[in-house]
Amino acid sequence: MESGDATYEDLLTMLKTHYHREESMFVKAQKFMNAQQGAGEGDCDFLLRVADLSRQQEIGSSTRENAIRERFALCVAVKGLRNVKVRQELMAKPDLTWDKLKATLKARARAFEASAVLGDKCSSDDVKEYITRA
């Protein structure tokens, strides 16, 4: 293709192809293992990011390998949570699974949204009770 015949989209595609660098498995693993919840990043958004990073790991796709991937993702997600108290409570649960983690964090988010709406009518004990019921 002559450069004079190329459209903007063609040139953009050529540049992206030329400069695209695939991350090595070591870089992907480093990003995954060191994932930390960012300032302003919600708990559920962080879980989605950890899940995405876990899918990028070259572990395999068998049932056993998926179970290993989920266990790693669970550990990374709990370790990376900003809230130390929540992290410690989750670490104390011997039967914590990815699904239970998602449910707990979703309930926590709903409880804090409710407390913001209700203002002073909702105490921190009410929020904690709501969280533990989920």
Q: What is the pLDDT of residue 119?
A: 64
Identify the band that residue 88 occupies on the pLDDT scale cut at 50, 70 and 90: very high
- How far lies 92's CA from each of 64, 65, 69, 73, 86, in Å? 25, 25, 21, 17, 10
Judge whether residue 16 has pLDDT over 50: yes
Q: Give the pLDDT mean for 33-43.
A: 93
Identify the band that residue 129 occupies on the pLDDT scale cut at 50, 70 and 90: low
Q: Which two tokens stand for residue 128?
A: 């904690």
110 vs 100: which has the higher pLDDT: 100
Closest CA to 108 of 88, 82, 83, 134: 134
How many CB atoms are located within 10 Å of the residue 115 CB?
17
What percent of the chain has pLDDT above 70?
83
Q: What is the pLDDT of residue 91?
A: 94
Domain boundaries, the chain: 8-94
How open is the CA angle 61-63-66, to the nearest 5 degrees?
60
pTM above 0.75, yes or no: no
